[in-house]
Structure 1
Amino acid sequence: MKIIKKEDFKESKWAGGVTSEVFIYPKEADVSKKNFDFRISTASCELEKSAYTSYDDFYRFICPLDNKMEISVDDYKFNLSPFEILFFDGKAKTYSSGDLRDFNLIYKKGLEGDMEALNICNYKTYFKDLGLIFNYDSDLKINGEEFPKFSCLELENEEVEIKGQGKIIICRIKNKK
C-alpha cells in the first residue's frame, strides 16, 4: 500500500487549466508520447468549451468532481453531476464545458479497467489486481492512518479498510502488462 499525495502529482498546464497526473503505468511512460498502459489524472477546466486529445488505442472514464459537466462524445450529449461517471472510446471526438475539476482514467485497449464513485461510511475491500482509491475532499483514515484529502492510495493484492464518511473514486486495472 502506498499513499500518493498531492505534492507527488505531476502537474502541467494546458490551454484551459492545470492537469495533475496522479498515476501512470509504467512509471517511465510519458502521456504526450501515448506510451502508457493506463493513467489517472485530474484536471481543472476554465474554458467555455474544450476539445479532448484523441487516444485512439485507449478507453476513457471521466467524472466531474465539483461542478456539473456538459460533455459531448461523437455528438452524443451528456450532463454529468459531480461523481457521475461516463465511459467512452478514447478516439471519440469529445468536447466539454463548465468551470470544474474532473477525474480521469485512461487505459489501453486489451486491458480491463473500471472506475466507480462511492459515497462511503466505513468501507472495506480487497484488490486482487491493481487498485487506486482517490480521496477528493473527505476526512478519512486508512488502517488507522490519515488518508489525506486530494490524494490517492495505490494497492495490489491487498485488503484495505477505510474509516470515515465521504466520497471516493476507485479505479481497478486487470491484466496489466
Structure 2
Amino acid sequence: MIIRRSSETPARLWSGGTTRELFIAPVDSDYADRNFQVRLSTATVESEECLFTPLAGYERHLMVLEGEAHLEHQGHRSRDLRRFEVDTFDGAWQTLSQGLYRDFNLMVRYGSRGYLTHQLLSEQETLHLSPEPALLRAWYLISGRVELVSGEVLAAGDLLVIEPGDRLGLRSLQASQLVVSTIAF
C-alpha cells in the first residue's frame, strides 16, 4: 500500500496549465523518458485552448473533476466531457483541448488495461477489498475524508494505491467523492 499526500506532489507547469504527478510505476521510471508502465496525475487546464503532449505507445484516460472540456482528437473524433465523465483515447493522437477545467489522468502502456470510475461514499460507509493478484488499484480523494483500518486518515487531494495482492478496508468519515483507477497487467 502506498499513500501519496497532496503536500508531497508539487505542481509543475505544462503548456496548458499545471499538473501534479501522483504516482508513476515502475518506481525508477520517468515521465519525460516515456519509460513508465502506468502514471496517475491531476491537471488544471488554464488555457482556453491547448494541444496535449503526444504519448505514443500509451492509452490515456481523462476524467473531468471540475468544469467542462471539449477534446478534439484530430482525424478521429471529438468528445464533450462534463464532471466525472471519462474519455479514453490513443496517446499518439493529436488532441486539442478546449475549455477551463481540472482533470484526473490515467496513462497506461499498451499491453495493460486501465479504467477510471467515480465513486461516492456516504458518511460512515465502509469498503473492503479482497486481494487481486493482477490488479493495481488506486483511490484519489476529490473531497471528504476516509480512514484506513490502520488508522491513517486521507483527505482531499490524497492518493491511496493498493498494489497487486494487497487487501484494504476503509471507512468514510464524511461523505466522500473518489476517482477509482483500476489497472490490469
With normalisation by structure 2, the TM-score equals 0.87
Q: Which amino acid aligns with 1:73?
A: H
Match of 1:167 in 2: 177
Please list every run of 5 or more consecutive structure 2 residues that lacks an aligned counterpart in the other structure: none
Find out whether 1:96 has 2:106 as its counterpart: no
1:65, distance to aligned residue in structure 2 (A): 0.8
Runs of 4+ aligned residues of structure 1 deviating over 6 Å after TM superposition are none
CA distance in 2, matches of 1:117, 1:123: 16
> Contact conserved, 2:38 with 2:106, CA < 8 A, in 1?
yes
**Which residues in structure 2 correspond to 1:4-153 (within 5 Å)?**
4-74=4-74, 75-121=76-122, 122-126=125-129, 127-128=131-132, 129-143=135-149, 144-153=151-160
CA deviation digits over 1:97-148, x for unaligned, max 9?
1111111000000112221112222241425122110001223333354211
Q: Which range is displaced more, 70-79 or 30-39? A: 70-79
Paired residues in the alignment total 175
User: What secondary structure sits across from 1:7 in the alignment?
Assistant: helix
CA distance in 1, matches of 2:144, 2:79: 27
> Contact conserved, 1:40 with 1:104, CA < 8 A, in 2?
yes
With normalisation by structure 1, the TM-score equals 0.90
1:35, distance to aligned residue in structure 2 (A): 0.7
User: What secondary structure sits across from 1:63 in the alignment?
Assistant: strand
User: Does the C-alpha gap of structure 1 residues 123 and 115 become closer, same or farther in structure 2, counting only changes over 3 Å?
Assistant: farther
CA distance in 1, matches of 2:128, 2:107: 23
> Contact conserved, 2:29 with 2:36, CA < 8 A, in 1?
yes
User: What secondary structure sits across from 1:65 in the alignment?
Assistant: strand
> Contact conserved, 1:85 with 1:117, CA < 8 A, in 2?
no
Q: Which has the higher strand share?
A: 1
Please list every run of 5 or more consecutive structure 1 residues that lacks an aligned counterpart in the other structure: none
CA distance in 1, matches of 2:101, 2:180: 20
CA distance in 2, matches of 1:123, 1:99: 34
> Contact conserved, 2:142 with 2:176, CA < 8 A, in 1?
no
User: Does the C-alpha gap of structure 1 residues 115 and 125 become closer, same or farther in structure 2, counting only changes over 3 Å?
Assistant: farther
